[in-house]
Amino acid sequence: MKTTVTKTTFAATLALIITGTQALAATGGANPEGLGLMATLFISFAVLVLLFQLIPGVLLLAGMLKGIFSKAKKTGVDAVESGKHGL
């Protein structure tokens, strides 16, 4: 008795899932709207986040490259004597 109920429940669930996925996969007719408002806002927000992280990243990279390739190498004592220390 229990296996019959389980098989029936499984078959009904599978039929609902198949029907639901077919309905969700339908394009909706000949005039697709394209991106909705929320999708456009989400993509715009993601682009803004990337841009606001790109600018400081480029500045940090430029500073690191400037420090690596600078000709004047200061030791710790030179930095303290010139007053350019973090204290």
Model confidence at 85: pLDDT above 90: no
* Tens digits of residue pLDDT in 45-58: 999 999 999 999 99
The span from the CA of 47 to the CA of 21, in Å, is 31
> What does the domain layout of the chain look like in residue ranges?
37-87
Q: For residues 87 and 75, what is the distance between their CA atoms, to the nearest angstrom? A: 16
Tens of pLDDT along 6-33? 788 878 887 777 777 766 666 655 555 6
78's tokens: 């030179």
Going from the C-alpha of 78 to that of each of 19, 32, 67, 74, the distances in angstroms are 76, 68, 16, 6
- Asked if residue 74 lies in contact with residue 82, where contact means CB atoms within 8 angstroms, the answer is yes
